[in-house]
């Protein structure tokens, strides 16, 4: 066993629970479909509430802040529950409504935790365990879809939906997935996980430093060509 295989053995996250067929959908509306190869990024959100996929699906398909007549189905493709469960909530081929013009090329993944206080100020951080699950899950998805770690972004980082230019400077529209979520740190940990998997497969021999440079990229390309 090499050191990467040892490290991989120590990473424990739960297996995903597939709820796609169980969640309620809108009676007559449908999302557009796409090929999986159209997905170019994973967008991280917060529900800003300790909620469940069922409650989010029920909210999304009724008249809401996104659509006057409700969305066709839940807007997130996956959710990470309060206890660190990973729920698959929508097929990746469905173009759901979570980031405006970025929807056709984005996958939405939501963290179930409360970031705002009673005054609506974004002040609370998610538990480290929840972030760890997010980072490993995003790493798995990146490996499957051929996305590099820099393709994991927060809702607030996307132009138009997360921020806009106002009088020559950047103005934030959203703080999602929560101000206390350090997205650079998330990406570094996604990269670390990917380096471990690439090493465990005998394709990477460098440091597990979360810096996805030429050596990591070369190993990743080899990994993808072997599939």
Residue 155 binds to Zn ion (criterion: CB under 5 A): yes
Closest to Zn ion by CB, 45 vs 192, is: 45
Residue 131 binds to Zn ion (criterion: CB under 5 A): no
Q: Which residues contact 83 (CB under 8 A, 6 or more apart)?
A: none
Q: How far is CA 88 from the centre of its chain?
A: 11
Give the interface size with Zn ion as a residue count (CB under 5 A): 3
Nearest approach in angstroms of CB 48 to Zn ion is 9
Report the C-alpha gap between 155 and 98 in whole angstroms: 9
β-strand pairing of 94-95 with 169-172: unpaired
Stretch that binds Zn ion, among 27-35, 78-86, 139-147, 150-158 (CB under 5 A): 150-158
β-strand pairing of 41-46 with 152-154: parallel
| First CA to last CA distance, the chain | 22
- The HSE-up count of residue 222 (CA atoms within 13 Å, CB side) is 15
Closest to Zn ion by CB, 154 vs 199, is: 154
Stretch that binds Zn ion, among 7-15, 86-94, 141-149, 170-178 (CB under 5 A): 170-178
Which string of x and - marks every residue 25-54 that binds Zn ion (by CB under 5 A)? Answer: --------------------x---------
Report the C-alpha gap between 126 and 198 in whole angstroms: 28
Residue 176 binds to Zn ion (criterion: CB under 5 A): yes
Which residues inside 99-118 make contact with Zn ion, applying CB under 5 A? none
Closest to Zn ion by CB, 26 vs 174, is: 174
Nearest approach in angstroms of CB 80 to Zn ion is 14
Closest to Zn ion by CB, 124 vs 223, is: 124
To the nearest 10°, the Cα dihedral for 122, 111, 10, 152?
-90
Residues found near Zn ion in the complex (CB under 5 A): 45, 155, 176
């Amino acid at each position: 066993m090499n050191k990467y295989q040892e490290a991989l053995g120590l990473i424990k996250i739960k297996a995903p629970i597939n709820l796609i067929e169980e969640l309620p959908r809108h009676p007559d509306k449908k999302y557009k479909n796409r090929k999986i190869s159209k997905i170019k990024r994973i967008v991280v959100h917060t529900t800003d509430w300790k909620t469940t996929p069922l409650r989010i699906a029920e909210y999304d398909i009724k008249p809401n802040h996104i659509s006057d007549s409700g969305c066709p189905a839940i807007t997130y493709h996956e959710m990470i529950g309060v206890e660190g469960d990973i729920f698959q909530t929508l097929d990746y081929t469905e173009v759901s409504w979570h980031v405006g013009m970025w929807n056709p090329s984005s996958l939405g993944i939501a963290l179930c935790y409360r970031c705002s206080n009673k005054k609506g100020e974004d002040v609370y951080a998610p538990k480290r365990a929840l972030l760890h699950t997010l980072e490993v899950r995003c790493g798995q998805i990146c490996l499957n879809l051929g996305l590099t770690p820099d393709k994991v972004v927060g809702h607030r980082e996307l132009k138009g939906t997360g921020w806009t230019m106002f009088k020559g400077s950047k103005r934030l529209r959203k703080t999602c997935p929560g101000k206390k979520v350090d997205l650079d740190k998330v990406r570094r940990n996604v990269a670390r996980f990917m380096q471990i998997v690439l090493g465990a497969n005998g394709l990477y021999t460098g440091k597990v430093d979360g810096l996805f440079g030429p050596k990591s990229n070369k190993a990743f390309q080899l990994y993808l060509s072997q599939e």
